[in-house]
Structures are given as structure tokens and as C-alpha cells.
Amino acid sequence: MRLSVHPVSPRTLRKEFRPTLRLALPLIFAEIGWMSMGVVDTIMVGRLPNSAVAIGATGLGQSLYNSVAIFGGGLLLGMDTFVAQAHGRDDIGDARHSLVNGFSLALALTPILMLLVSFWPMLMRRFGVSSELIQPMQPFLQALNWGTLPLLCYFALRRYLQAVHVVNPIMFALVSANVVNLVGDWALIYGHLGFPAVGITGSGWSTCLARIYMALVLLITLAYVESKRSLPDGALAVGIDLQRVRALLTLGSPAATQILLEIGAFSAATALIAKLGPVPAAAVRVGHQLGRGDPTRAHLAGWSAILLGGGFMTCTGLVFVTASEQIARLFTPDPAVIRVGATLLLVAAAFQLFDGLQTVATGALRGSGDTRTPMLANLIAYWLIGLPLGYVLCFRFGLGALGIWIGLCIGLIIIGSALLFAWHRRLRSKVSLR
């Protein structure tokens, strides 16, 4: 027997919007909090005397660090499946088992990731990036690196709490961490509250402290949530299980690779632009913080989420078009950075819709068990099409940073279109009876 595929009606979509928003809003605010930390850092270092170098160095350092650390966090995504399934069958002991082994994986990953991050300054010198950017970037990157363990612990705790439907504390942790980061930036960058002024290195230490704070908030939340559970004898007897760790890696690796390909593409673009000097690098930092700062990275569901995500990103694109120069002025008083940054924000506006579509479609596909399609789409569109095209436009046609972003924009349009089509086909196959 085969069921016909009925079109998605506006009435059906309206019914889905409310539950989608109810589930997603706390995580949306959490992602806004995550994005805002980078925005605050950029604004704070942008007031240093040489704002182009300060913004360019922190932007390059953040991009390089995130390409490694967020990949490590992606390897923990398998916790979503194990914990959610255990929670669904009321097997709290197994859910805790996944949490303990997720923590074990985070501990094992930390020294590896920190070692990889430590190689970035040397690699950037070999790549031809100016020492004017690398010299201030190196201590900033070292400060960020000390926050790797609390960051991975935060990721593990978040995966667990989300899977057992405890999301409001995640929102609180990230939003309040912005206050911690802001005060830390003010004290450490410019020398207040008895601290010496250490410039952009202070921004790295402030971010590190904010990540320790986030991990502590979620750890306290976990202790409170678990104290309310009535558990049978032996439920606390959990230990390291290499088979569970291996299973977590098996589930998380494709998603982590997809994240690495996406973030890595923008990190590679930042490194390419850094070869042009501090002003283009600083302008790209401004563009990244806004153009890539979509708050729809929660794993939403179905067409309602895709329409909501696409609609939101279209609105942000319109804001970039109408107020690009005013937005750039928030980050720096340097006229050269403002001019280039405003131009890049216009390109960012062009890909907002497709960025929203690819983000939510990736979450929908991942939720249905397909992590391979987003990974391949990012590999092909960014690394085989977008970056090579951007390189040619930047260095062969003389478009500079604008050329790199045009290439990335085209890659993103391809990804958004391809993943939307993949989700549509997968939805049709689910509706057809087996």
C-alpha cells in the first residue's frame, strides 16, 4: 500500500509554528547569547588605538581556534541520540552512563585539541600572514586555549540537559555569560578593577573565564536536576565504557566533520584575507560576527522551522542592506575598516536567506538520521567551489576580501538549495508507506 503525499497547507504550518517556537525559543536566545560574546569582544577590542590590527588579530585567532574546538564539541553530538532515547524509555541510569562517557571523551579530547591549536601561529607564518597580525594573535590564542576543557564540558552538559528537555538554564548560562565577558573585557583589555591593561590578550582571558562560568552554571543545574530524581539502587554505578565512547564517536563524527567543513571554510577565508593586511582582516571579523551570527542553530523540525528560519534570516538581511555602515561603526572608529566592513555586510545580506535555510535544513536532516548529506554538501560547495572561486576573484581579479566573500556566498547558496531539496525528498520518502 502507498500513501499519497499531501501538500503542506498554511493551516498545518500555523499549527506547527507554536510548538516549534515553544521548544526553540530558549535555544534561540542561547544561540544569540553565544553569538553576542564574539560581537562584544570585537566591539571592545575595536576601541584600542590600532583597531584594525586588534580586530584583525582577534578575528583570525577566534576563527582558527573555533575550527578546532567546535569540531571537538561536534564529536559530542552523539550524546543527543543516546540520552534522548534513554530519557524516552525512562532509563535514567543509561542516560547518566552516556553523560559520564561524554565527559570522559571531552577530557580525552582536550589535550589533543589544545596541542592542535598551539600550532596555528607557526602555520600562519608559513602561510604568509603578516607578523603584524600574528604577534598579538599568539598570546590571545594561548589564553583562549586554556578555556578548551570548560568549553567541552559545557558542550557535554548542554547535550545532556537538552536531551532531557531542560533548556531554560542553557539560555540563562549563555545570556548571563555575556555580562561576565563584558566586565572581563573592560577590566582586562583596558586595565580596570586593579588589573593591568593587556590589550587583546585580555579579551582571550575574559572569554576563557566566561566559559568556565558557563560550565559551572550547567554543572549546578545538572546537580539540581539529578537531585530531584528518584533512582533505583545501582543507578549511580556508572563508569567509563569504551564501547559507549566508540558509539558516541561513530554518531558524532559525520556531524563534527560537517561543522569542521563549514567553520573551516570561513577560517580559511579569514586566513586568505589576513594575507591582504590588517584592514581587510578586521573588516571580515565585523562581517563574520553579524553575517554568520544566525540564532537558529537549534535542531528544529520540518517545514515550519525552515520557514521560520528563512524568514528570520531574510529580515536580518534587510537590516544589513539598510544599515550596513551604521552597523560597522559600532565595531570600530577606523574609517577604512568601516568602509570595507559595510561592503562585506551587503554581501552578507545576500546570503542570509540561504544561510537560514541550510542551517535549519541541516538540523532537520540530522534529526532524521542523515548526517552524510550536509557533510558532502559543505565539502563540495565550500571547498571545491566557493573557496577556489573566492581565491580567483580575490587574487587574480583584484577584488580583495570582497572576492573571497562572493565565493563563499555562492557556495552557501548552493548548500542551502541542495539541503532544502534533500529535505524535501526525504520528507516524501517518509510519507510513502513502506
Separation CA 52–CA 135 (nearest Å):
14
Q: Which domain holds residue 224?
A: 10-431
In a domain, 5, yes or no: no
Q: How confident is the model at residue 231 (pLDDT cuts 50, 70, 90)?
A: low
* C-alpha span between 148 and 65 (Å, rounded): 10
The residues, ordered by sequence, that sit 6+ positions from 153 with a Cβ below 8 Å of its Cβ are 103, 106, 215, 219
pLDDT per position as a tens digit, 54-95: 888 998 999 899 999 989 998 998 888 788 788 778 788 888
- CA distances to 21, 248, 362 from 415, rounded to whole Å, are 25, 27, 10
- Residues 102-132 as b/e (b if ≥16 CB within 10 A, e otherwise) read bbbbbeebbeebbebbeebbeebeeeebbeb
Residue 80 in any domain: the answer is: yes
Coil/strand/helix, residue 8: coil
4 inside domain: no
Please give the share of the chain, as a percent, with pLDDT higher than 90. Answer: 32
Lowest mean pLDDT among 6-10, 212-216, 263-267, 346-350: 6-10
pLDDT tens per residue across span 244-263: 889 888 888 888 898 888 88
> What stretch of H or E contains 81?
helix 78-88
112 pLDDT more than 70? yes
The predicted model gives 372-385 an average pLDDT of 91
* pLDDT value of residue 335: 83
Reply yes or no on whether the pLDDT at 232 is more than 60: no
pLDDT one-digit tens code per residue, 12-59 = 555 555 555 565 566 666 666 676 788 788 889 988 888 888 888 998
Is residue 314 in some structural domain?
yes
In order, the DSSP letters of 331-342 are T---HHHHHHHH
Is the pLDDT reported for residue 119 higher than 80? yes
Q: How many domains does the chain have?
A: 1
- What pLDDT sits at residue 22? 61
**R_g of the chain, CA atoms, integer Å:** 22
Q: Is 414 part of any domain?
A: yes
Distant-in-sequence, close-in-space partners of 74: CB < 8 Å, separation ≥ 6: 252, 255, 256, 257, 258, 259, 260
pTM value?
Answer: 0.79
What lies within 8 Å, CB to CB, of 43 at 6+ separation is 330, 331
Whether the per-residue pLDDT at 3 is higher than 50: the answer is: no
Q: What is the pLDDT of the chain when averaged over all its residues?
A: 80
pLDDT by residue (tens digit) across 214-224? 999 999 999 99
Of 52, 21, 80, 194, give the one whose Cα is nearest residue 136. Answer: 52
Three-state SS at 399: coil
Helix axes 51-74, 120-127, angle to 10 degrees: 120
Residues 6+ apart with CB under 8 A from 106: 72, 76, 149, 152, 153, 155, 156
Question: Is pLDDT at 5 greater than 70 in this prediction?
Answer: no
Q: Find the mean pLDDT for residues 377-386.
A: 93
Residues 6+ apart with CB under 8 A from 166: 221, 225
CA separation for the pair 403, 415 (Å, rounded): 19
* 341 domain residue, yes or no: yes
Dihedral sign (CA 63, 334, 196, 39): negative
Cell 567551489 -> residue: 385
Q: Give the span between the Cα atoms of 390 and 397, in whole angstroms.
A: 10
Predicted confidence at residue 165, as pLDDT, reads: 80
Contact 319, 65 (CB under 8 A): no
Strands (E), 49-179: none
1 part of a folded domain? no
pLDDT at 171: 86
**What is the per-residue pLDDT for 426?**
73
- Find the range with the poorest average confidence among 106-120, 196-210, 320-334, 397-411: 320-334
pLDDT beyond 50 at 299: no
d(CA 396, CA 286): 25
What mean pLDDT is predicted for residues 94-112?
A: 91
Whether the predicted pLDDT of 330 surpasses 90 = no
CB 171 within 8 A of CB 30: yes
Per-residue model confidence (pLDDT) at position 122: 94
Residue pair 27/171 in contact by the 8 Å Cβ criterion:
yes
- Of the given ranges (89-93, 198-202, 293-297), which has the lowest mean pLDDT? 293-297
Task: Return the closest-CA partner of residue 282 out of 409, 421, 130.
Answer: 130
By the 8 A CB rule, do 312 and 298 touch? no
The DSSP line for 227-286 is HT----TTTT-----HHHHHHHHHHHHHHHHHHHHHHHHHHHHHHHHHTT-HHHHHHHHH
Q: Is 3 part of any domain?
A: no
> Which run of H or E residues covers position 416?
helix 401-431
Q: pLDDT higher for 191 or 401?
A: 191
Distance of CA 146 to the CA centre of its chain: 19
